[in-house]
Structure formats: structure tokens, C-alpha cells
Amino acid sequence: MSNFLKHSLKAVEESATIIKDYFKKIDYVYQKNKNYRDLVSEVDILSEQHTIIEILKTKFKDHNFLADESGFENNGSNYTWVIDPFGWYSKLHKRYKNVCYLFGIEI
């Protein structure tokens, strides 16, 4: 298994734990910009910044990161991790049991 895949899976598993914990308790949601459909919840930020990005940075600290909530972090690398929650709030709000993350690396 590649080093990228190994650490990606670890990050996704940790993020899944946060999502499960928040499934029935979204406490704070705000509008990210002028688009009334672009909502951000506490779980978006926790799962993206405090789980996926932190885990990936421990192994790939020199890589770039492009994430939906935290923006672009340019470290001058040829590698860029792209991280985007896909409709978290609307799915959690409606209690759908399936949510996903768009997640990859540009080489």
C-alpha cells in the first residue's frame, strides 16, 4: 500500500469518528458567503482542519493543501492535497446516513 493511501485512510477513519459523533447534534451552522446554500457547520471544520489536515501534515508537512473551509496553503510543493466535504450539512440536517468527502492528491 502506498504511503499516500495509508495516511489518507487513517485521516478518513478519524474524520468518520467525528462525523458519527456529530450526526445527531449539529450545534452551530453559519452561512459561508453570499450564497445561502453554502453553509458550514462545526463538523465541517473539525473533520477537515483538526483531523484530515492535521494527520496529513504530520507525514507530508511540505505538501500544499487546498481545502474547502480553510482555503489554500501553498508550501511550494509539487504535491497538493485537495479536500472538500460534499454536502455535509444538508445530509446531516436531514439525517441521511451516508455522507462523503472528496479527497485526493494532485501530483
Write down the H helix ranges in the chain.
Answer: 3-22, 42-47, 54-59, 88-93
Q: Structural domains in the chain?
A: 3-106 (3.30.540.10)
pLDDT, tens digit, 9 for 90 and up, residues 80-97: 999 876 655 555 555 666
Better-predicted residue by pLDDT, 46 or 9: 9
Q: Say what the pTM is.
A: 0.73
Q: Are 84 and 68 in contact (CB under 8 A)?
A: yes
For position 51, what pLDDT does the model report?
Answer: 75
pLDDT, tens digit, 9 for 90 and up, residues 20-70: 777 666 555 555 656 555 556 666 777 777 678 888 999 999 999 998 778
